[in-house]
Amino acid sequence: MGGIDNTQPFLTPLKIIEQAQGGVMHGIKASDHSFAGFGEAYFSTVNFGLIKGWKLHRKMTLNLVVPSGEIRFVVHSASENYTGRDVVPVLDVILGSTQYSRLTVPPGYWVAFEGVGRERNILLNVADIEHEPSEAINYPLDFFRVPNFHQF
């Protein structure tokens, strides 16, 4: 595990191998420290200027990669004591072609994501468990307030 704290969200830089015929974009390997098992993999899209979230998984570990477009992820801890609903993100990052990395989010964190690329914004989630609607909590976008996060 190399001293990585898997109880906190973290980024893992990924390789893109460019070739004349097309590139290879790494995602996740079973030997990676963020690999917690395989439950399912799915793609999601988010349109430019729109936000999906807030969602908290109680059991699922997310491994999020953006192979196309640019997506801003805002992550904050459910264990923080908030005054009102103003939050300070644990992590606020834009992933895609300019920063090709994997975002690992363990259970217990709120996540929302915004399409910031003008073209098609696609994310891949390699989750450690299959989707179970009962293990996730959803809040409307205006439930938490994050500075400079276009929620309305």
Would you call 104 helix, strand, or coil by DSSP?
Answer: strand
Strand pairing report for 10-13 and 109-115:
unpaired
How far CA 72 is from CA of 29, 112, 134, in Å, comes to 24, 8, 26
User: Above 50 in pLDDT, residue 39?
Assistant: yes
**So where are the chain's domains?**
10-143
* Residues 119 and 63 sit within 8 Å (Cβ to Cβ): no
Q: What's the pLDDT at 16?
A: 84
**pLDDT tens per residue, range 95-152:** 998 999 999 999 999 999 999 999 999 999 999 999 999 999 999 888 888 877 765 4
Q: What's the pLDDT at 26?
A: 83
CATH architecture of 10-143: Sandwich (2.60)
User: Above 90 in pLDDT, residue 89?
Assistant: no
How close are the terminal C-alpha atoms of the chain, in Å?
40
Which of 61 and 13 is assigned the larger pLDDT?
Answer: 61
pTM for this entry: 0.85
